Structure 1
């Protein structure tokens, strides 16, 4: 189990790191760089935050698979809902900005979706392993 978790965490980290580099380069070499200076949260902070959420979810799902494999889907939905609520509270300063922060809002949402896709991928692998 720990080997599977570590392999999943490493793969998720590599994918996230690759997207972070692409995201940083996009803001560095395009006109979007002017928007980046006013971000509430830097890109590395967002990626680390969501990576932490993902690790907690993946570890929890591994534990559930060990104890009660038929509950993986329900646990995933519950943890993803908690993650979305947490993301809302983290995003409140971005949402409530009075100046135009559309680039930051879009970036925040896309990073959320990226990590959601990573979690869905690993959850699907766990569900298929059960059969």
Structure 2
């Protein structure tokens, strides 16, 4: 449980806040109002951070029980998350507003950022020595 808290508080939460602040600044600098988006940025970041926290927690529990399946479980969970994200992004894909293309890119960028975080944490989990 100590590793879960360390990962969440030292990696996930600060990166989420940092990415959110940078994202807001970039959108404001190009003149886009995030308040006009179908999903608010706060909601997107909270949902993706929560999903990443759940994935990290599950992977750490799997590592304790069966280290050899961590990579496979990561692939399965990530695939499930991708399918869920596809259904969440469908309303955005059907939008025809002036900011629709920016909103699509916005969702994709947030997905990729959190996927990169999950992948980095999983790599660290897989590189740690087995506990006997």
TM-score range, shorter chain: over 0.9
TM-score normalised by L of structure 1 = 0.92
**RMSD of the TM alignment (CA)?**
1.2
Gaps of 5+ in 2: none
CA distance in structure 2 between the partners assigned to 1:130 and 1:45 by the alignment: 37
Alignment of 1:16-95 (within 5 A): 16-33=16-33, 36-95=34-93
Which TM-score applies when normalising by structure 2? 0.91
Q: How many residues align?
A: 128
Report the counterpart of residue 15 of structure 2 in structure 1. 15
Gaps in structure 1 of 5+ consecutive residues: none
Cα deviation for residue 37 of structure 1 reads 3.3
Segment drifting more, 12-21 vs 97-106: 97-106
Note the alpha carbon deviations across 1:79-123, whole angstroms, 9 max, x for none. 000000111111111011133401000010000000000000000
